[in-house]
Amino acid sequence: MQRLQAYKYELRPDGQQERQMRRFAGSCRFVYNKALALQKERYEQGEKKLGYAGLCKLLTEWRNSAETVWLADAPVHPLQQTFKDLERAYSNFFAKRADFPRFKKKGRHDSFRYPDPKQIKLDQGNSRLFLPKLGWLRYRNSRDVLGTVKNVTVSQSCGKWFVSIQTEREVEQPIPQGGAVGIDMGIARFATLSDGTFFAPLHSFRRHEVRLRKAQQALSRKVKFSNNWKNAKARVQRIHARIGNARRDFLHKTSTAISQNHAMVCIEDLAVRNMSKSAAGTTEQPGRNVRAKAGLNKSILDQAWFEFRRQLDYKLAWRGGWLVVVPPQNTSRACPCCGHVSAANRQTQARFACVECGFEGNADVVGAVNILSRGMQVLRDEGRDTADASAGMLRGCPRSVSPDGLWIELRWRSEAGTHRSDSGAAQCHV
Ligand SMILES: [Zn+2]
110, 302, 313, 364: which one is catalytic?
A: 364
The arrangement of strands across the sheet holding 160-170 comes to 111-114, 148-157, 160-170, 2-12, 135-139, 128-131, 121-123
Distance 149 CA to ligand 1 centre (A): 56
Q: What is the pLDDT of residues 132-144, one digit of tens each?
A: 999 999 999 999 9
pLDDT, residue 107, reads: 82
pLDDT, residue 358, reads: 83
Per mean pLDDT, which range of 76-85, 92-101, 229-238, 403-412 is the poorest? 403-412
> In which band, very low, low, confident or very high, does the pLDDT at 201 lie, cut at 50, 70 and 90?
confident
pLDDT, residue 282, reads: 54
CA–CA separation, 24 and 11 (whole Å)? 15
Residue 430 in this model has a pLDDT that exceeds 50:
no
pLDDT, residue 284, reads: 59
Q: For residue 289, is it left (φ>0), alpha (ψ between -120 and 50) or beta?
A: left
Among candidate residues 278, 277, 276, the one with its CA nearest the CA of residue 299? 276
CA–CA separation, 42 and 166 (whole Å)? 35
Helix (H, G, I), strand (E, B) or coil at 305: helix
CA 291-294-298 angle, to 5 degrees, is: 145
The average pLDDT across 326-332 equals 82
Distance 377 CA to ligand 1 centre (A): 19
pLDDT, residue 352, reads: 87
Residue 196 in contact with residue 372, Cβ under 8 Å? no
110, 184, 313, 422: which one is catalytic?
A: 184
pLDDT, residue 195, reads: 87
Residue 387 in this model has a pLDDT that exceeds 60:
no
Residue 217 in contact with residue 378, Cβ under 8 Å? no
Residue 172 in this model has a pLDDT that exceeds 70:
yes
> In which band, very low, low, confident or very high, does the pLDDT at 428 lie, cut at 50, 70 and 90?
very low
What is the share, in percent, of the chain residues with pLDDT greater than 70? 80
pLDDT, residue 388, reads: 35
> In which band, very low, low, confident or very high, does the pLDDT at 285 lie, cut at 50, 70 and 90?
low
Distance 272 CA to ligand 1 centre (A): 29
CA–CA separation, 398 and 139 (whole Å)? 36
Q: Which helix (H) or strand (E) holds 12?
A: strand 2-12
Distance 325 CA to ligand 1 centre (A): 24
pLDDT, residue 390, reads: 32
> In which band, very low, low, confident or very high, does the pLDDT at 50 lie, cut at 50, 70 and 90?
very high
Residue 335 in contact with residue 356, Cβ under 8 Å? yes
pLDDT, residue 325, reads: 86
pLDDT, residue 300, reads: 58
C-alpha separations of 309 from 57, 321, 406 in Å = 41, 14, 16
Distance 351 CA to ligand 1 centre (A): 14
The average pLDDT across 247-268 equals 90
Distance 420 CA to ligand 1 centre (A): 25
Task: Give 66's DSSP letter.
Answer: S
Residue 343 in this model has a pLDDT that exceeds 50:
yes
268, 302, 313, 422: which one is catalytic?
A: 268
Average pLDDT, the chain: 81
Distance 340 CA to ligand 1 centre (A): 5
What angle separates helix 290-303 from helix 204-221, to the nearest 10 degrees?
110
Q: Is pLDDT larger for residue 424 or for residue 123?
A: 123
184 tagged catalytic: yes
Instruction: Determine how many CB atoms are found less than 10 A away from the CB of residue 212.
Output: 17
Distance 421 CA to ligand 1 centre (A): 25
Residue 103 in this model has a pLDDT that exceeds 70:
yes
Residue 220 in this model has a pLDDT that exceeds 50:
yes
CA–CA separation, 354 and 369 (whole Å)? 14
> In which band, very low, low, confident or very high, does the pLDDT at 373 lie, cut at 50, 70 and 90?
confident
Q: Near ion ligand 1, which residues have CB within 5 Å?
A: 335, 337-338, 340, 354, 356-357, 359
